[in-house]
Amino acid sequence: MSLLTRRRLLRRAALSATAAGAVRTGLVGATAAGIAASATALGGCDSSPERRTDQESDAGLRFPPDFGWGAATSAYQIEGAAKEDGRGESVWDTFSHTPGRTRNGDTGDVAADHYHRYAEDLDLMRELGLRSYRFSIAWPRIQADGSGRPNQRGLDFYRRLVDGLHERGIAPMATLFHWDLPQALQDDGGWENRDTAERFADYADVVFRALGDQVPVWLTINEPKTVVQNGYIWGHHAPGHQDEAAAYLVAHHLQLGHGLAVQALRASGVSGRIGPALNLHPCYPADDTAEAATATRLYDGYENRLYLDSIFKGAYPQDVLADLGPDSRMVRAVRDGDLKIISSPVDLLAVQYYTPIYVTGGGSTVQKLPTTEAEWQQIYPEGMYDVLTRVTRDYGPVPITVTENGLPCPDVPGPDGTIDDAGRVSFLRDHFAAAHRAIRDGVPLKSYHVWSLLDNFEWDQGFEQRWGLVYVDYRSQRRVFKRSAHWYRDVIHRNGL
Ligand code: FCB
């Protein structure tokens, strides 16, 4: 049995999530002590007075001129309007409408109703002072069945959004695929089918030609690893499979789709820049044993190098290939020339950082630090520094953008209607400071997008977890700046802490 089959992959946002801040496996005080000090109690979300020490030492940190302060969202999580203007069904429509798949049976049918309220949301972005906005384009709005003639009404929506950003002086950053695969393609095998990678490149080409003159930065596929692990190993994300052999086949086709989309941009003659959006997890041994060090190395292969090496080095990591075995569906699916496509030169790397992973000698993971309301997320700002410096060290000075970082808090409006998410302020401040140290140490970090602009549909967790800078009252769809939004506006204004 390979280490892979024994190890516990990071299980994200499982329905069985424990209560906020719950500690699952032995909180190891020694290692955690210094770090825990930087995480507030109650999963980093209490509203106790912020830590004085860090506040003082971080105060005055200035970011490079033109630093791209931003916020991020994705289509299915905010848009709603699931059946409007010719939108087809995606795997997430199917999944969320299947009983028992999401918390409280929540779906993205209405979500934050952004499709109708985008103009108001653009004004919120201007009020925040955002310089960059990262959103995703819903493939089923552009091609209801995943191929063929584009749906002009879908393209028009994104054209209006992009124009509205430019009118407000905010740079658009568009993700081509944030998990909402057209259901028709899933019916033909989804990402297990190599053809889906080709369809993705065709769709990308349509979008480049329609919007390319106005979108300076494109991201190909959001977090391929999450599709692999949550969608195909654990099954708590769409399409809800539990099939490890299929999972790594899917990984290869997602990577192939990425490379083909990069090539499609170059071929289209459109001038934008393009790169992958990878969620990277710094992996640390859980103890000082040689076994833990060895297991951590392989774990890192599955979490990070599988995606980074194929794109930046043109080869899948040998240790992961050996662990999968020569007869694995993935290894058998790799054709001559595939790695050349996957490693087509990119212009930037988008990094999404949420949590570290601690690996035992047996290849499983343990929790060492306080978590947020998301049980998979341990609070470790230094991980941001480690991830950013590591990619620069190992993969060269490719420009980096942080496209996601944030945490869920149990935000409830107080009697006066304000939302005091002091824990989010501390969390972001600590992560910004870590990013600043990385820049100081030579990382070409150009921009930083907080996840998320708005509270939204957090996949299998539905609307229960609130990740936004801006509170959304889902009954009235009223938006309210949380304390963190006010604070972030000041950070942007000062260009620093
Ligand atoms: C990331 C996803 C994003 C959101 C955050 C919390 O993995 O890309 O859509 O769910 O986690």
Give the pLDDT band of residue 30 (cuts 50, 70, 90).
Answer: very low
Residue 128, number of CB atoms within 10 A of its CB: 24
Give kind and range of the element (H or E) at residue 445.
strand 445-451
Does any ligand 1 atom lie closer than 6 A to the CB of residue 457? no
User: How does the average pLDDT of the chain come out, rounded?
Assistant: 91
Residue 89 designated active-site? no
Residue-wise pLDDT tens digits, 58-76: 889 999 999 999 999 999 9
Ligand 1 pocket check for 459: Cβ under 6 Å = yes
- 84 flagged as catalytic: no
pLDDT at 57: 72
Burial label for 8, CB within 10 Å (0-12, 13-18, 19+), is middle
CA 473, 478, 483: angle at the middle one, nearest 5? 75
Long-range contacts (CB closer than 8 Å, 24 or more residues apart) made by 230-237: 230/11, 230/12, 230/13, 231/179, 233/9, 234/9, 234/11, 234/12, 234/14, 236/11, 236/12, 236/13, 236/14, 236/15, 236/101, 236/460, 237/95, 237/179, 237/459, 237/460
User: Which residue has better confidence, 32 or 460?
Assistant: 460
**Average pLDDT, stretch 433-450?**
98
pLDDT at site 23:
23
The Cα 160–Cα 455 span in angstroms is 22
**223 pocket-lining for ligand 1 (C-beta < 6 Å):** yes
- Ligand 1 binding pocket includes 458 (Cβ within 6 Å): yes
From 122, 117, 121, 111, select the one nearest 80 (Cα to Cα). Answer: 111
Average pLDDT over residues 137-145: 99
- Which element (helix H / strand E) includes 479? strand 478-481
From residue 417, give the alpha-carbon distance in Å to each of 117, 469, 470, 473, 477: 21, 15, 13, 11, 15
Tokens 């190599």 correspond to 194
**pLDDT band, very low/low/confident/very high, at 234 (cuts 50, 70, 90):** very high
Percent of the chain with pLDDT over 90: 88
Q: Which of 223, 303, 373, 375 is catalytic?
A: 223
Q: What is the mean pLDDT of residues 141-161?
A: 98
pLDDT at 54 over 80: no
- Helix axis angle for 195-211 and 244-268, nearest 10°, is 30
Mean pLDDT calculated for residue range 107-131: 98
Residue 291 in 3-state DSSP? helix
pLDDT > 70: percent of the chain = 89
What three-state secondary structure class fits 282?
A: coil
Ordered alpha helix ranges (H), 334-482: 338-342, 382-395, 422-440
Amino acid type, 122: L
Q: Please state which architecture CATH assigns to domain 3-494.
A: Alpha-Beta Barrel (3.20)
What is the average pLDDT across 131-159?
Answer: 98
pLDDT band of residue 20 (cuts 50, 70, 90) is very low
Distance 64 CA to ligand 1 centre (A): 27
pLDDT score of 175 more than 60: yes
pLDDT 10s digits, 322-354: 999 999 999 999 999 999 999 999 999 999 999
For residue 17, name the pLDDT band (cuts at 50, 70, 90): very low
Q: What is the pLDDT of residue 8?
A: 44
pLDDT over threshold 50, residue 7: no
**In the prediction, which pLDDT does 56 show?**
53
Is the pLDDT at 159 greater than 70, yes or no?
A: yes
Query: How sure is the predictor about 13, in pLDDT bands with cuts at 50, 70 and 90?
Result: very low
Helix (H) or strand (E) holding 133: strand 132-136
The pLDDT tens digits for 387-431 are 999 999 999 999 999 999 999 999 999 999 999 999 999 999 999
Q: Where do the structural domains in the chain lie, given as residue ranges?
A: 3-494
From 354, 451, 465, 466, the mutation candidate for ligand 1 (largest count of ligand atoms within 8 A of CB) is 451
Across residues 15-44, what is the average pLDDT? 32
Q: What is the pLDDT of residue 58?
A: 83
